[in-house]
Chains A and B, each alone.
Chain A
Amino acid sequence: DTAVSQTPKYLVTQMGNDKSIKCEQNLGHDTMYWYKQDSKKFLKIMFSYNNKELIINETVPNRFSPKSPDKAHLNLHINSLELGDSAVYFCASSQEHAESHYEQYFGPGTRLTVT
Chain B
Amino acid sequence: RKEVEQDPGPFNVPEGATVAFNCTYSNSASQSFFWYRQDCRKEPKLLMSVYSSGNEDGRFTAQLNRASQYISLLIRDSKLSDSATYLCVVNLYTGGFKTIFGAGTRLFVKA
Interface of A with B (CB < 8 Å)?
A: 31, 33, 35, 41-45, 48, 53, 55, 90, 96, 99-101, 103-109
Contacts and interface: CB of A to CB of B under 8 A. Distances in A.
A15 B101 CA distance: 29
B99 A45 contact: yes
A104 to B, nearest CB: 7
B32 A100 contact: yes
A94 to B, nearest CB: 8
A59 B11 CA distance: 31
Given A43-B44, A109-B43, A104 B99 contact: yes
Interface of B: 31-32, 34, 42-46, 49, 85, 87, 91, 93, 96-101, 103-104
A108 B104 CA distance: 18
A25 to B, nearest CB: 13
B44 A90 contact: yes
Given A41-B104, A108-B43, A103 B49 contact: yes
A90 B98 CA distance: 16
Nearest to B31: A100
**Chain B facing A: main interface SS:** strand
B43 A101 contact: no
A99 B49 CA distance: 16
Contact of B91 (A90, A101, A105): A101
A101 B85 contact: no
Contacts of B98: 45, 48, 55
29 contacts: A31-B97, A33-B99, A35-B101, A41-B85, A41-B103, A42-B104, A43-B87, A43-B104, A44-B101, A45-B98, A48-B98, A48-B99, A53-B96, A55-B97, A55-B98, A90-B43, A90-B44, A99-B31, A99-B93, A99-B97, A100-B31, A100-B32, A101-B32, A103-B34, A104-B46, A106-B44, A108-B42, A108-B43, A109-B42
Contacts of B96: 53, 55
A103 B104 contact: no
A61 B103 CA distance: 21
B99 to A, nearest CB: 6
